[in-house]
Amino acid sequence: MDKETVRAAALELYEAPFTCANGYIFDAKGRMVADNGEQDIVARIRGWGRISYLDNAEALQDEVAEIVAEALTEFWTKHRNAK
């Protein structure tokens, strides 16, 4: 699977809007996206249980992490530069 195909498949795994409750991030359908299971971290990407049954599961999990990292970068850059 090429990068563009993996990206499209990864974006289909979860649905916006996302919500946060007690250190967990959920998608619009209540699927856990991330938790703060470790000390001194903001979030840990989740979903391996569900994703592990899909084709190219490892690539999908890695791509979800890339998407989250891009979103965090965009948000932080926008809001830190707005000061």
**Contact predicate 8/61, CB 8 Å:** no
The answer to whether the pTM exceeds 0.95 is no
Q: Which residues are 26's β-sheet partners?
A: 19, 32
Enclosing domain of residue 38: 3-80
**Contact predicate 25/37, CB 8 Å:** no
Q: What is the pLDDT along the chain (83 residues), one digit of tens a residue?
A: 899 999 999 999 999 999 988 888 899 999 988 887 766 677 777 766 788 888 988 899 889 889 998 998 898 889 888 76
**Chain segment 8-22, per-residue pLDDT in tens:** 999 999 999 999 888
> Structurally, how many domains does the chain consist of?
1
